[in-house]
Structure 1
Amino acid sequence: MSAFEKPQIIVHIQKSLNYTVFDCKWMPCSAKFVTMGNFARGTGVIQLYEIQHGDLKLLREIEKAKPIKCGTFGATSLQQRYLATGDFAGNLHIWNLEAPEYPVYSVKGHKEIINTIDGVGGLGIGEGAPEIVTGSRDGTVKVWDPRQKDDPVANMEPVQGENKRDCWTVAFVFIGPSIINILYFQVCSLEFDRKDISMNKLVATSLEGKFHVFDMRTQHPTKGFASVSEKAHKSTVWQVRHLPQNRELFLTAGGAGGLHLWKYEYPVQRSKKDSEGVEMGVAGSVSLLQNVTLSTQPISSLDWSPDKRGLCICSSFDQMVRVLIITKLNKI
């Protein structure tokens, strides 16, 4: 790819906020997005923004008792577009942003902060019940069905006697009529390339500045999944997000404020037989398409627009939210 053909990462809009932003998510089928975090006074905040005429308009600000760490629209319908959040007190709430005074669903999910959340079964993707998974500092991972009141439908916790491990990231993937949840402890971020297909690829990012791409189609009984790793940043890679319209492209966000755009290339054959005739996967390769430094502080969250190719948002610990445009993605 020539320098002329390379995609460019352009900051379209940036806005300084008066609170720490932990997460941001596009509202599906709209030019709106939400930011979530905490004020210096210790309360939580959700803000709803809309892109209008090249600027951001604040539509709604919702202050809550506890700081909000993470959120997802993944388990809601396109008609409702409810936001599920996890907060510093371990509460799982689901909010109707049109009437946010009280949550439409609320449960004390964990004993400590909910670090991470993901949803599935909503937004018209695949089939099955709406479900939400939460991971917490208390070392547990729980799956919730919002149609049920108090108890999780699945509860994963350390074996008794083992030290609890802080769970930083969880991810759902949809397979046929069932849901599979894969989690990593002490990995910063992970994401399947798509939720509406059989397990294909999984990207996991790490503290030491690397990411690993796993081919999930073939699992060898002893060697596991084939993978390729890349030293992506000079610091922790806090986020990974795949382009919804092309799952071979993904962004990684680093602790030094860098944003990198990558492309995964499949091998000629995705599987082969080992010396004993057992099927094993073959890893592909990754190439860096573009990178840019946006901030001197870590990029805390990142989300592609599901509707507009190349449009994304990110937040960083300098209390900034940025709307980005990545060009020429339809030519890759």
Structure 2
Amino acid sequence: MEHPSIYLEPDWVNTIRTHAPDSERRGILGNEQLALIYEQKWFKFLVPEAYSGLQIPLPRQVRLEEGLAWANGSFGWVVTLCSGAGWFGGFMEAEFASKIFNDAKLCLAGSGAATGAAVITGNGYVINGEWNYASGVHHATHITANCIIKQGDKTVLTNEGSPLILPFIVDRKDVSVIPAWKFVGMMGTGSDAYQIKNLAVDKEHCFNINPKFPVVDAPLYHYPFLQLAEVTLAANLSGMAVHFTDLCSSIFAERIQRSATSMLQKDKLTDILNEVETRIANARTHFYTVVDRSWQVVIDKSTLSEEAAHEVSVASRNLAKVSRESVDTLYPYCGLMAANPETELNQVWRDIHTAGQHSLLTFDA
């Protein structure tokens, strides 16, 4: 299985990693990192070509995101989450979408949680709510938010009797950011909360996601959103796990050279690293086989069966699980430097265990 780094230019990696410590201290991506993103249009991975986006095929996007997460966890995560929202451009009316997505510094942040409400008015809605964990919110141009739809004080119900929840997109200037990211890892993501108060928007700010009937008729927008989210997040954990094993390889090599390390210990270090690298490689190989196959099915048939979609979910969650467990297998053999928050090794360990708490990757499919 190829190493994630093959999809990145050395200069890119240098820029990402050189500014990673400062990004972690400040709790937001640095200007040099953002300049690289804008230059490469990475926030536009999923934006339709009609709106100056890359509309990149899913298999290539996932490999690139794994590479970016290998370079740095926070950097890869922000690119993945903010570019992922660009997929919504395939479901918005063209005139409205063109006003948003043609921005050269486009960045969409948001939350999938329905912790807001949108009250129907004559020409649109009035939005109120507060949402957590909006990666990239500090440099976002627009914000997406899921809202429970209300008619007056009453909740609008679907045909099945559940509350109707619809996504909205609003200008960043209409949103208040609330400092709230106080976790051990992914410090550079700036994943703070945001609030919207009594914001009146036209109905065009609300859109409906249906991969069977996208506005932009292309394979990317026929791919199911749940599986799209799962594969991109799993690839991030995989990239971080490979980064961790790379660092361990150097650490173990140095320990093996020490005269104080016994032959038994040297063999253990060699064996455990080989076992973990093989385990990750096998999980990555299976994952990409499933992703590539599912993508071809969507190209051929414009849809993915429930069985095929479930296979993608299983492969994604398995890769996430293997990535977490592999890092924990190696951690005890790294010495006290693994517990030092100022080391790169500890930063990767904190990142993967923070990102790995995402609900989409926690339970088996």
- By the TM > 0.5 criterion, same fold? no
The structure number with the bigger radius of gyration is 2
Q: Comparing both structures, which one devotes a greater share of its residues to strand?
A: 1
Q: Comparing both structures, which one devotes a greater share of its residues to helix?
A: 2
The two structures have a TM-score, normalised by structure 1, of 0.29
